[in-house]
Structure 1
Amino acid sequence: MSQSPQTNESTKTRTPGKMIKGFLGTTAIAGVAAAMLATGLPAPVTGAFADAVRVEAPQAPSFADVVQAVSPAVVSVRVQAEVKPVSNDGPFNFNFNGRSFDDLPDDHPMKRFFDEFSRGFGGESDRDDRRAERDRRGPDGKRRPGRVRPVSQGSGFFISEDGMLVTNNHVVENGSAFTVIMDDGTELDAKLVGRDSRTDLAVLKVEEAREFTYVDFADDSKVRVGDWVVAVGNPFGLGGSVTAGIVSARGRDIGAGPYDDFIQVDAAVNRGNSGGPTFNLNGEVIGINTAIFSPSGGNVGIAFAIPASTARAVIRDLIDDGTVERGWLGVQIQPVTADIAESLGLAEAQGALVTEPQSDAPAAKAGIEAGDVVTAVDGEAVEGPRELAKKIAGIEPGKTTEITVWRNGESQTIEVELGTLPTETAALTTDDQDEPSAPQAEATLDDFGLTVVPAENGRGLLITSVAADSAAEERGLRAGDVIVAVNNQDVSDASDVVGIIDSAASDGRKAALFQVENENRSRFVALPIDQG
Structure 2
Amino acid sequence: MPLSARLLHIVSLSGVLLGAGVGVPAWAETPALPAPAAPATPAPAVVAPRPVPESFADLAARLLPAVVNVSTTQTVHGNGDDEDDEDDQQPQMPDFPHGSPFEKFFHDFMNRQTDPNAPPRRMQALGSGFIIDPAGYIVTNNHVIRHADKVTVTLQDNTVLTARPIGHDDRTDLALLKVDSKKPLPFVSFGDSDRHRVGDWVLAIGNPFGLSGTVTAGIISSRGRNIEQGPYDDFIQTDAPINKGNSGGPLFDMDGAVIGVNTAIYSPSGGSVGIGFSIPSNEARSVVEQLRKNGKVSRGWLGVRIQNVTQDIADGLGLSPARGALVAGVEKGGPADKGGLHTGDVVQTLNGKPIEGKALPRLSAQLPVGSVAHLGLWRHGKTLDQPVTVGALPEEAEEAAAKPAPEHKQPAAVSFEDFGFSVGPLDAQARQKYGLPAGQKGVLVRSVRDDGIAAERGLKEGDVITEVQQAEVTNPSALKQRMEAARKEKKRSILLLVHDTDGMRWVPLPLTGEDKP
TM-score by length of 1: 0.74
Which of 458, 477, 481 does residue 476 from structure 1 map onto? 458
Q: How many angstroms apart in 2 are the aligned matches of 1:325 and 1:224?
A: 29
Higher deviation after alignment, 448-457 or 395-404:
448-457
1:110-136 superposed Cα distances (whole Å, 9 cap, x missing partner): xxxxxxxxx99x869978999x96xx7
1:222-242 superposed Cα distances (whole Å, 9 cap, x missing partner): 212222211110001122111
Cα drift, residue 270 of structure 1: 0.2
In the alignment, what sits opposite 2:442? 460
Q: Name the amino acid aligned to 2:289.
A: R
Greater share of residues in helix: 1
1:248-276 superposed Cα distances (whole Å, 9 cap, x missing partner): 11111111112111111111100000011
Change (3 A) 1:441 1:496: closer
Which of 323, 342, 363 does residue 336 from structure 2 map onto? 363
Cα drift, residue 369 of structure 1: 2.4
In the alignment, what sits opposite 1:62? 55
Which of 387, 391, 411 does residue 415 from structure 1 map onto? 387
Change (3 A) 1:506 1:4: farther
Which of 392, 398, 417 does residue 370 from structure 2 map onto? 398
Change (3 A) 1:234 1:445: same
Which of 56, 67, 74 does residue 74 from structure 1 map onto? 67
Count of paired positions: 434
Cα drift, residue 151 of structure 1: 3.8
In the alignment, what sits opposite 1:492? 474
TM-score by length of 2: 0.76
In the alignment, what sits opposite 1:52? none
In the alignment, what sits opposite 2:273? 300
Is residue 410–residue 475 contact of structure 2 (8 Å, CA) maintained in 1?
no
Is residue 232–residue 361 contact of structure 2 (8 Å, CA) maintained in 1?
yes
Q: Name the amino acid aligned to 2:442.
A: G
Higher deviation after alignment, 416-425 or 182-191:
416-425
Higher deviation after alignment, 502-511 or 171-180:
502-511
Q: Name the amino acid aligned to 1:529.
A: L
1:97-152 superposed Cα distances (whole Å, 9 cap, x missing partner): xxxxxxxxxxxxxxxxxxxxxx99x869978999x96xx7xxxxxxxxx77x3442
SS of the residue corresponding to residue 464 of structure 1 reads strand
Identical columns (%): 43
Task: Indicate the structure whose relative CO is greater, using CA pairs within 8 Å and at least 6 residues apart.
Answer: 2
- Runs of 4+ in structure 1 deviating by more than 6 angstroms, as ranges, are 122-130, 436-440
Which of 510, 514, 517 does residue 528 from structure 1 map onto? 510
Q: Name the amino acid aligned to 2:171.
A: R
Q: Name the amino acid aligned to 2:427.
A: E
Q: How many angstroms apart in 1 are the aligned matches of 2:218 and 2:348?
A: 37
1:312-367 superposed Cα distances (whole Å, 9 cap, x missing partner): 11111111111111111112221111111111111122222222222322222333
Change (3 A) 1:125 1:326: closer
Cα drift, residue 525 of structure 1: 0.4
Q: Name the amino acid aligned to 1:452.
A: V
1:501 aligns with 2:455: no
Cα drift, residue 405 of structure 1: 2.6
Is residue 131–residue 139 contact of structure 2 (8 Å, CA) maintained in 1?
yes
In the alignment, what sits opposite 1:334? 307
Change (3 A) 1:531 1:406: farther
1:377 aligns with 2:353: no
Q: How many angstroms apart in 1 are the aligned matches of 2:347 and 2:53?
A: 53
In the alignment, what sits opposite 2:25? 2
Q: How many angstroms apart in 1 are the aligned matches of 2:239 and 2:112?
A: 48
Which of 286, 304, 309 does residue 313 from structure 1 map onto? 286
- Equivalences for 1:79-158 in 2 at 5 Å? 79-84=72-77, 149-158=122-131
Is residue 438–residue 462 contact of structure 1 (8 Å, CA) maintained in 2?
no
Instruction: Structure 2: give runs of 5+ residues left out of the alignment.
Output: 1-23, 30-51, 81-103, 429-439
Change (3 A) 1:495 1:169: same
Instruction: Structure 1: give runs of 5+ residues left out of the alignment.
Output: 7-58, 88-118, 137-145
Is residue 78–residue 114 contact of structure 2 (8 Å, CA) maintained in 1?
no
Q: Name the amino acid aligned to 1:514.
A: L
Which of 235, 251, 256 does residue 278 from structure 1 map onto? 251
Cα drift, residue 286 of structure 1: 1.6
Q: Name the amino acid aligned to 1:72.
A: P
SS of the residue corresponding to residue 212 of structure 1 reads coil
- Equivalences for 1:247-262 in 2 at 5 Å? 247-262=220-235
Is residue 244–residue 267 contact of structure 1 (8 Å, CA) maintained in 2?
yes
Q: Name the amino acid aligned to 2:491.
A: R
Higher deviation after alignment, 460-469 or 183-192:
460-469
Q: How many angstroms apart in 1 are the aligned matches of 2:427 and 2:55?
A: 72
1:193 aligns with 2:166: yes
